[in-house]
Structure 1
Amino acid sequence: MQNLLRGAICALALTVAVPAASAASLKITAPAAPGGGWDQTARAMQMVLQTEKLATGVQVENVPGAGGTIGLAQFALRSKGDPNALIVGGFVMVGAIITNKAPVTLDQVTPIARLTGEYEAIVVNADSPVKSIADIVTMLKANPGSVSWGGGSAGGTDHITAGLIAKAAGVDPTKVNYIAYSGGGESMAAILGGKTTVGVAGYGEFDSQVKAGKLRVLAISAPERVAGIDAPTLKESGLDVVIQNWRMVAAPAGLKPDKKAELVKTIAAMAKSQAWQDQLKAKGWTDTFLEGDAFEAQLKSDIAKTEAILKEIGLAK
């Protein structure tokens, strides 16, 4: 994994970044394949920024791989100093950087704002004989490897959630049989096709298939039941696990202070718009907006906490 990232960085270092001429046109990097939470976030931003006339044009580019760190490396090297470039990221990327010992980190971007929060859902195929979290716990205790978990990148929120569930059930979290997929589309196909015992991701990724009757939600990782989601919490199910994924937007390093301020102002206007609030409601995302320096401080704290959790469940040393 590290060799792949370093190879990508070396190749990208040969290109010369040329900042765009106008901040009215933006390019958003979604560092994952189409269908997942980062892709959904980037495209929701694209729609709202254009609808609210906060940008004259917005492009979205998908760059999947390694929990977002391939896209992060490309973004950091190609876009340095460009006030028209943005990248979506979040909790998953934090975990992937630590787990993969990635040579590129979030120190190489300029945090702009935290946008959303989303609780994790544990789901099964509608035809699955597994009816509850209690069934999963029974299977884990008998043989941890018998439960295959389909989710996003290794070390990300989905993986952490699976590890915390095992730990709360009294099972060695290092024995969790976790299958990482590079995008929400691949993960969904595996769950619907019965290739994994359970699926774990932010609820928004499952919502349409749950409503279509193709998936059942066993539990949600919220502290209390969530309106619109017909499922108990993990705590109700006997497991003391509460975890919320979050997503952010960042700009390249090397921005002039006035350009950073302009981007923060633009994203804040987007987040306060009715169009954005409608997107949050439609996708089941929680508004956790935090901007500028306050978010930068919170991000540093979250990175330290994530490293501690990953060590606790055996995903980092």
Structure 2
Amino acid sequence: MRRDTFLKSLAALAAAGALPNAAWAAANIKMMIPANPGGGWDGTGRALGDALRDAGVASSVTYENKGGAAGAIGLAQFFNASKGDPNALMVMGAVMLGGIITGKPPVSITQVTPVARLTTEYNVFVLPADSPLKTMKDVVEQLKKDPGSVKWGGGSRGATEHIAAAQIAQAVGVPAAKINYVPFRGGGEAVAAILGGNVTIGGSGYSEFQPYIESGKMRAIAVTSDKRLDGINVPTLKEQGIDVVIGNWRGVYGAAGITPAQRDALVAMVVKATQSKSWAESVKKNNWTPALLTGKAFEEFVDRDFSSLRATMVRAGMV
């Protein structure tokens, strides 16, 4: 049997749940996380790695963090170093698309191989506990008085929290081009800036801020979902009269130059991982919304989201 035919057979069996775990025993996954430690991509990549091992489809997972430029630096390294490697994965998501639109890096997401969308996470906006501002209404009032005095902290330029800040400004009658957005290369840097009072308001996925919200070091004032998140008593922007809803999805890509059969095998491994107890625990712990989408359907979704995101950013004056 040809190797490609064999791999396709394994992939089909794994997707159907009929493949013994031992068939994947030789898989040593190399996970590129194109962000600094402590952020949403880092958490997603490591949770997926744990799930791959828990599901028995990988014997080991190694990680490499390479932050900067909304993931473009890590993307370039992944593209150049992993060509043809069927065991290489890279975490990515909506933030990377925004960074590609604004930064126009030499390597684009279309040069690597789409595998799966995993989750959607809505942004939460927070204030430092000792901030004189207490609510989103306070932030909006200050924004209307002096847009530049409100420093919005978050991920790289083009991140969903950047777009959300621009949409909030537009919704309350402030030109989006006037917002003062301070980008950070990773969640850890953003957290430090918020806690240190170096930005007025911070935005990111709830999981990144959860420990600080629960400890009282940050005050959560709004979420970007269309309804309140389960178990989290934080009002939506819509509840507060600001008609903005935006989600931040995350997924994984494979290396450039792998065969269709190798891609199918990676898809099957990831699907198997998302069925594991470890993954279910991570989803619950981090308040992620499961959003599994694989293969061609995922590729088409990325194309649509890229076009939609670019149109939004053009209207907001970000491109």
Same fold (TM over 0.5): yes
Q: Secondary structure of the equivalent of 2:84?
A: coil
| In structure 1, C-alpha distance between the alignment counterparts of 2:171 and 2:317, rounded to whole Å | 14
Gaps of 5+ in 1: 1-21
Gaps of 5+ in 2: 1-24
Q: Could you list the per-position Cα deviations for residues 262-286 of structure 1 after superposition, in whole angstroms to 9, with x for gaps in the alignment?
A: 1000000111222211110001111
Per mean C-alpha deviation after superposition, the further-off stretch among 267-276 and 175-184 is 267-276
How far apart are 1:23 and its partner, in Å? 5.8
The answer to whether structure 1 residue 139 and structure 2 residue 152 are counterparts is no
Match of 2:186 among 183, 186, 189: 183
The answer to whether structure 1 residue 105 and structure 2 residue 105 are counterparts is no
Q: Could you list the per-position Cα deviations for residues 292-317 of structure 1 after superposition, in whole angstroms to 9, with x for gaps in the alignment?
A: 1111111110110010011011111x
In structure 2, what is the equivalent of residue 286 of structure 1? Answer: 289
How far apart are 1:52 and its partner, in Å? 2.1
In structure 1, what is the equivalent of residue 245 of structure 2? Answer: 242
The 3 A distance-change label for structure 1 pair 23 and 158 is farther
Q: Counterpart amino acid of 2:111?
A: Q
How far apart are 1:258 and its partner, in Å? 1.2
Match of 1:272 among 272, 275, 280: 275
Match of 2:213 among 210, 213, 217: 210
| In structure 1, C-alpha distance between the alignment counterparts of 2:170 and 2:197, rounded to whole Å | 25
Q: Secondary structure of the equivalent of 2:57?
A: coil
Per mean C-alpha deviation after superposition, the further-off stretch among 235-244 and 101-110 is 101-110
How far apart are 1:221 and its partner, in Å? 0.3
| In structure 1, C-alpha distance between the alignment counterparts of 2:218 and 2:98, rounded to whole Å | 27
In structure 2, what is the equivalent of residue 7 of structure 1? Answer: none
In structure 2, what is the equivalent of residue 4 of structure 1? Answer: none
| Identity across the alignment (%) | 49
Match of 1:171 among 170, 174, 177: 174
Match of 2:54 among 51, 56, 76: 51
Q: Counterpart amino acid of 1:247?
A: R
Q: Is the 8 A contact 2:54 2:277 kept in 1?
A: no
Q: Is the 8 A contact 1:217 1:230 kept in 2?
A: no
| In structure 2, C-alpha distance between the alignment counterparts of 1:100 and 1:121, rounded to whole Å | 25
Q: Is the 8 A contact 1:114 1:295 kept in 2?
A: yes
Q: TM-score, normalised by structure 1?
A: 0.91
Q: Is the 8 A contact 1:23 1:83 kept in 2?
A: no
How far apart are 1:230 and its partner, in Å? 1.6
How far apart are 1:51 and its partner, in Å? 2.1
Q: Secondary structure of the equivalent of 1:298?
A: helix
In structure 2, what is the equivalent of residue 12 of structure 1? Answer: none
Q: Counterpart amino acid of 1:124?
A: L
Moved >6 Å (runs of 4+):
none
Equivalences for residues 144-159 of structure 1 within 5 A: 144-159=147-162
Count of residues in correspondence between the two structures: 295
Q: Is the 8 A contact 2:91 2:253 kept in 1?
A: yes
In structure 2, what is the equivalent of residue 38 of structure 1? Answer: 41
Q: Is the 8 A contact 1:120 1:201 kept in 2?
A: yes
Q: Secondary structure of the equivalent of 1:236?
A: helix
